[in-house]
Amino acid sequence: MMLPLILLGFLAVSCNNDDDSSDDNVDVIVGTWKVTDAFVDGESIYDQLLLMAYCPLQNEYNFLNDYTLRIDTFEDGNEAGECIAGETQNGTWSKTNDVYTVNLSGETSSSTANFLDNNNFTTETTFEGQAVTLKFTRQ
């Protein structure tokens, strides 16, 4: 249960499967993204998170050109390691300077996305007083 809060605490950044090289995208964030690493004090905690919350780490964050956001969530299935589709969450996103703001279910969260290249970015969040860096990779 901790991981979904971390992810939503960040904002829940994501994108659609649009080609990142397309000039038709309104922003580099447009596309489909997944969390591919998480760091505390510079050390990866991703493997530990996979053991605790494998299925939520399969969530796909879809940022669309019309400034809407769709998060395709996954939940534990009946068998170990099995993930099933969960509730789809819908919201909106905007960008001012380098700060992205997401509105999901009436809750607004803002964060800076630090793009490593067109297919990877990191963002900072705080969970239970601990600074966490999440790395997202375009799918």
Residue with tokens 């790395």: 135
Specify the 3-state DSSP secondary structure of 9.
helix
Q: Which residues span the domain enclosing 96?
A: 2-138
* CATH code of the domain covering residue 133: 2.40.128.280
- In this prediction the pTM is 0.81
Vertex 125: Cα angle to 68 and 138 (nearest 5): 50
Find the Cα–Cα–Cα–Cα dihedral 38, 43, 49, 51, rounded to 10°: 140
Number of domains the chain is built from = 1
Write down the pLDDT at residue 23: 60
Per-residue pLDDT tens digits of the chain, which is 139 residues long: 344 444 544 444 433 333 444 567 899 999 999 999 999 999 999 999 999 899 999 999 999 999 999 999 999 999 888 999 999 999 999 999 989 999 999 999 999 999 999 999 999 988 778 999 999 999 9
Buried b (16+ CB within 10 A) or exposed e, 114-126: eeeeeeebbbebe
